[in-house]
Amino acid sequence: MTASPQGLEMLDIAVAAADAKGGEDLVALDVSEPLPLVDVFLVVTGRSERNVAAIADEVEDRLLAAGHKRLRREGREESRWILLDFGDLVVHVFHEQERMYYGLERLWKDCPTVPFELPAHTSAD
């Protein structure tokens, strides 16, 4: 199996949103083979709890504005690891310490990465 067109469209929206709020080390994994109900995991790092919350809020706002339904959100209170489940796309926004500790990329190392492009930045950014 491979990620659906809708999953890839959602990924592009989420990547742009995370990048706009300073998300770092973005990695997208095609988890459609082991998880038939999910196409893509997007893993993002924030530098602080405030940054993690801002990234997650922006991703959620943009996906909702594009007409996608959020199924679940977890971790907003602590803002150390926020999970946003949009069905085909699940976004994990980590504080850098939690990302290293939980190592999702290691857990899902057999899944291929999904290529994406970060938005171009001007020198004024």
With respect to residue 114, please indicate whether it lies within any of the assigned structural domains: no
Number of domains in the chain: 1
Q: How far apart are CA 79 and CA 94, in angstroms?
A: 8
Quick check: 47 and 53 in contact, CB under 8 A? no
pLDDT exceeds cutoff 70 at 1: no
Mean pLDDT of 82-107: 95
Domain that includes residue 20, residue range: 5-107
With respect to residue 123, please indicate whether it lies within any of the assigned structural domains: no
Q: What is the pTM of this model?
A: 0.93
Q: Which two tokens stand for residue 64?
A: 């909702």
pLDDT tens for residues 31-49?
999 888 899 999 999 999 9
With respect to residue 63, please indicate whether it lies within any of the assigned structural domains: yes
pLDDT exceeds cutoff 90 at 91: yes
What amino acid occupies position 35? L
Q: Strand (E) positions, the chain?
A: 24-30, 40-46, 72-74, 81-85, 89-95
CATH number at residue 62: 3.30.460.10
With respect to residue 48, please indicate whether it lies within any of the assigned structural domains: yes
- What per-residue confidence (pLDDT) applies to 35? 86
With respect to residue 119, please indicate whether it lies within any of the assigned structural domains: no
SS3 state at 39: coil
